[in-house]
Amino acid sequence: MKSEVTMPAQARRRYTEEFKMEAVRLVRASAHPVAQVARDLGIPDHVWYRWRAQHRQAEVHGTTRVAQRAEAEELTRVKRELARVTQERDFLKRAAAFFARESP
């Protein structure tokens, strides 16, 4: 009989925007490699590279990462609401067509 060994799920660590910005600034300002700075901060290298890419994208657009995230969340909310309203409109169109056929 095989027994499965499962590892407990690790909680996802959350970092503040200030920490992320400081991590990006540290690597840019120092002569140390990314791997060393990331190790010193206790984060994986690939996480730092993602933060740097997000930071660069925010700089290109002249905003902050927080503003970009808020904008993306608002866009998602508006798209979801548009889909709901479109479904309601289509339902009402079908209902109106149905009742128009039913009346003599």
Please check whether residue 69 lies inside any domain of the structure: yes
Domain that holds residue 38: 17-102
Please check whether residue 70 lies inside any domain of the structure: yes
Whole-number pLDDT of residue 10: 75
Please check whether residue 8 lies inside any domain of the structure: no
Binned at pLDDT 50, 70 and 90, residue 79 comes out as very high
CA distance 16 to 22: 10
CATH number at residue 56: 1.10.10
Average pLDDT of the residues in 87-98: 95
User: Structure pTM?
Assistant: 0.55
CA distance 37 to 101: 72
Whole-number pLDDT of residue 88: 97
pLDDT at 82 over 90: yes
Tokens describing residue 61: 């657009």
Please check whether residue 9 lies inside any domain of the structure: no
Please check whether residue 74 lies inside any domain of the structure: yes
- Counting the structural domains of the chain, the total is 1
Closest CA to 43 of 22, 10, 13: 13
Whole-number pLDDT of residue 2: 60
pLDDT tens per residue, range 11-68: 778 888 888 888 988 888 888 888 898 899 899 989 989 988 988 888 888 888 888 8
